[in-house]
Amino acid sequence: MAWLERSDVDVLAMQETKCKDDQFPHEAFEELGYQVAHHGLSQWNGVAVASRVGLDDVRLGFDDMPGFHKDPEVTQDPEARAISAVCDGVRVYSLYVPNGRELADPHYTYKLEWLARLRDHASAELAADPAAQVALVGDWNVAPHDDDVWDMEVFDGKTHVSEPERQAFAAFDGAGFREVTREYTPGPGVYTYWDYTQLRFPKKQGMRIDFQLHSPELAARVTGAFIDREERKGKGASDHAPVVVDLD
């Protein structure tokens, strides 16, 4: 809440809220003048969108979003990883892409399928209305380039940097969506996430895994972007920094 007051942003997409809907602090946002929609099923995952410029047509998940359970014989229930709403004419998706865990883990296959289904959904949405203003926002759990991690040797053979994950991320560009933050925050050494362990933040050992992918009409409105690294400092801070985009 303090960051909202300092940043003065109109729309905020949140991921990994780790609570059920009835545990989410709706009132705190409303007191600051924001409408908020939250999707949470348990102490894991959880996504939300808060807006002071309108919050209409709230949708949970996306078309054909896959589910997950570590036991393939059990029903693969969808997780609380996606929510969207129309905010002043822009459909904003708050996305928490699966982590993948390990390359041989079923969660990695789930991650690739989840990204592919999201890409298909976003592509269909844009095909239905090429002028649609759509923002795919959140924690993508993919580092698209070598410069997006502090040391590629450390990540050799691990998730987030594998070629299939990077191809899955690049496929959104092929679907017409442009990542709009890198132009204004070029690397190397520019990160959005630092692990809590091993003093990763003060050592500047981070990852760039939080992005905003915009449809053509929306990308044309972008006038700037920045990563609020200062918010990673201090006691109780998130291990991710806010990624902010300005529109005309």
pLDDT tens for 45-74 read 999 999 999 999 999 999 999 999 988 889
Please tell me the predicted confidence (pLDDT) of residue 70: 86
pLDDT in tens, 108-152: 999 999 999 999 999 999 999 999 999 999 999 999 999 999 999
Return the structure tokens found at 110: 């789930």
pLDDT in tens, 75-112: 999 999 999 999 999 999 999 999 999 999 999 999 99
Question: Mean pLDDT across the stretch 159-175?
Answer: 98
Q: Is the dihedral of CA 20, 21, 26, 27 positive or negative?
A: negative
Name the band, by pLDDT with cuts 50, 70 and 90, for residue 235: confident
Question: Mean pLDDT across the stretch 189-195?
Answer: 97
- Closest by CA to 161, choosing from 176, 174, 151, is 151
Question: Mean pLDDT across the stretch 9-34?
Answer: 98
Cβ burial, residue 143 (10 Å; 0-12/13-18/19+): buried
Show the DSSP H helices in the chain as ranges: 2-7, 26-31, 106-128, 152-155, 163-174, 216-219
CA–CA dist 118, 175 (Å, integer): 11
Residue 231, Ramachandran bin (φ over 0: left; ψ between -120 and 50: alpha; else beta) = alpha
Return the structure tokens found at 227: 């990563």
